[in-house]
Amino acid sequence: MDYDRLYDKKEKFARIKGRIAPEALESFDKSFDIEYAHNSTAIEGNTLTLIQTKAILEDGLSIGGKTLREIYEVANHAKAFAFVKKCVAEGKSLDESIAKDIHALLMENILVGGVYRNVAVRISGAGFRPPLPNEMFRQVKDFFADLPYRTDLNPIELAAWTHAEFVKIHPFVDGNGRTSRMLMNYQLMFFGFLPVSIDKETRLEYFEALEAYAVGGNLKPFAEMIAALEEIRLDEYLSIICEQPEDLSDQTL
């Protein structure tokens, strides 16, 4: 991945964002929020369709034949992401308190959130075992202590590492995947990038990239996956302004 190209697109988007019609930005943002909630919960087994997710989040409708848990999962996801956007807008760096609050919002009406596990857990099909509770507590404390000092990583790599390392530690009984994806997007947005959604159809590639890090410490496959998704999102937003040729001159960009 050519990260310089990605940074150039990010800077270009920052310059032209103010010229995009608010209605267009709102439409893109709403569409992303729904797709993100759908994909992130579907990866974990939620059976709500994209249209059903939209009906819950945008239209406030109830869905027959689905469990309350599935409905809460997508509704909670929207609340948690709104919280993430609020914290980023306030310039708050990601920390342990924020991560616990995100988990608590994701787990509302499902289980008590924001509390680290005190039992051993296994991940089906994974080639690694999450640490036992005592070791997990040490690792999660080290994770948050290290977070502000990972200057060896560029922002995309840092977002990928935040996700990969947090989900490897697996500090909660449930909701680690959704929380990790929220933390990843927190980092992307904090550094001026757009949040990304990992499509449920690419979950095998996603799990394999995470496995490469968890088992072998190789962050590159996952970082490149996130970089590719980021470029797609930036291109999507930049395409809006491309429909307005008068705004594309070298003098204005």
CA distances to 84, 93, 102 from 63, in Å: 26, 37, 25
Task: Let me know: does 73 contact 181? Beta carbons within 8 Å.
Answer: no
Q: What is the rounded average pLDDT of the residues 104-109?
A: 98
Catalytic residues: 170
How many other CB atoms are found less than 10 A from the CB of residue 143? Answer: 18
Q: How confident is the model at residue 220 (pLDDT cuts 50, 70, 90)?
A: very high
Express each pLDDT in 136-156 by its tens digit. 999 999 999 999 999 999 999
Per-residue pLDDT, averaged over 56-75, amounts to 92
The whole-number pLDDT of residue 97 equals 98
Residue 244's pLDDT is what? 54
Is residue 177 part of an annotated ligand binding site? Answer: yes
On whether 15 is known to bind a ligand per the annotation, the reply is no
Asked whether residue 65 carries a pLDDT value surpassing 60, the answer given is: yes
Domains identified in the chain and CATH numbers: 3-245 (1.10.3290.10)
Is 180 annotated to bind ligand?
Answer: yes
Question: What pLDDT band is residue 245 in, cutting at 50, 70 and 90?
Answer: very low
The whole-model pTM stands at: 0.93
69 marked among binding-site residues: no
Average pLDDT over the chain, rounded to an integer: 92
Q: What is the mean pLDDT of residues 62-68?
A: 90
Instruction: Determine the pLDDT at residue 252.
Output: 42
